[in-house]
Amino acid sequence: MTARLTVLGGYLGAGKTTLLNGLLAAAGGSRIAVVVNDFGAVNIDRRLVTSATGDTVELSNGCICCSLQDDTSAVMTRLAGRGDLDHVVVETSGVGDPAALRTWGNYPGFAPGSTVVCADSTAVARLLRDEFVGDTVARQLTRADVVVLTKADLAGRAQLTDARRRCREHAGDARVLESTGGDVHLKDLLRSAAPANPAAGEPDSHRSVHRSASVTGAGPVDRGSLLAALRELPGSVVRLKGVVRCADSPGARTVVQYSGGRLSVTTDGDWQDADTSGLVIIVAGDGTADAELKSVSDRLAEVLIR
């Protein structure tokens, strides 16, 4: 059996993981392998898990979830050799170029599929105008066979229309779909596509404008202090995510997500003995962003270790 290879891209916080969760939960009889950079971010229904070894979790519905970790070649070669998969969906990083992975569709064991790019319908117009990240977002869109406008329920009619128009300007003939909570049908994403928009010869400048830092802590965190720090994030912060243990609910995993100027703090399952409070902060900008990243990470570190 030859697996159709689909590449999933999109800027930080665009909703890639939400879409992947939807694919794993509603495979509809298809055997899908989802390959992610951040293995812990995928919210797999534990009732579906049949086995977990190292970088792979196998589900009872025939799907698997793998982590790329540091060796893309080893993971992709292993999947190509399985022979029991219908589709392989590979997630690129939030600042990566989807075209860098689509060449695997020509590797023995795979067949070329679509390049799918998620775009936050409430933020994509602003991001495209941003002097630091606009070129990254535009480049990702030019690679797309399918653009998924995520968070459509949070956008007004005019905002959604503008987002669709701007994606059309950059994505050419790509199909543009709207999504609420990852509710895109598998058949709309995982189909074959003609090779599109090669990546060769273009400069890769996104790494120079993005910086990241991570902070961790051992003890329970004061929720009020955490929220106060998160509400003061500077405009250079484009993404923040992590899991913390709050003092007012020590038995629960409190999930923190920030993107597009929106903050979400939710609960996801029970706190495990092996869990550690930690946050990852990503900023974009010129030299002043370095100082802002240090300021934010220092402030959050104080909250997490207090």
pLDDT per position as a tens digit, 224-258: 999 999 999 998 999 999 899 999 999 999 999 99
User: What's residue 228's pLDDT?
Assistant: 95
Q: Is the domain of 181 the same as that of 228?
A: no
pLDDT digits (tens, 9 = 90+) for 175-195: 899 988 777 776 777 655 544
Closest CA to 182 of 66, 42, 60: 42
| Run of H or E including 242 | strand 237-244
Q: Is the domain of 188 the same as that of 222?
A: no
Last residue of a domain, one of 170, 188, 204: 204
Q: Is the domain of 171 the same as that of 238?
A: no
User: What's residue 201's pLDDT?
Assistant: 40
Calpha distance 160→214 (Å, rounded): 33
Contact assessment for residue 174 and residue 147, using Cβ atoms and an 8 Å cutoff: yes
Kindly tell me if the per-residue pLDDT of 198 is higher than 70.
no
Closest CA to 257 of 282, 284, 220: 282
Calpha distance 189→181 (Å, rounded): 15
Last residue of a domain, one of 141, 174, 204: 204
Q: Is the domain of 27 the same as that of 76?
A: yes
Q: Is the domain of 225 the same as that of 293?
A: yes
Q: Is the domain of 43 the same as that of 185?
A: yes
Q: Using 50, 70 and 90 to split pLDDT, how confident is the model at 42? A: low
**Alpha-carbon dihedral sign for residues 190, 196, 200, 205:** negative
Q: Is the domain of 199 the same as that of 237?
A: no
Q: Is the domain of 197 the same as that of 211?
A: no
Kindly tell me if the per-residue pLDDT of 298 is higher than 70.
yes
Last residue of a domain, one of 184, 204, 224: 204
State the residue range of the domain holding 266.
207-305
What does pTM read for this prediction? 0.77
> Helix, strand or coil for residue 237?
strand
Domains held by the chain: number:
2
* Average pLDDT of the chain, as a whole number: 84
Q: Is the domain of 180 the same as that of 259?
A: no
**Strand spans (E) along 121-200:** 146-150, 175-178
Calpha distance 145→140 (Å, rounded): 11
Q: Is the domain of 14 the same as that of 81?
A: yes
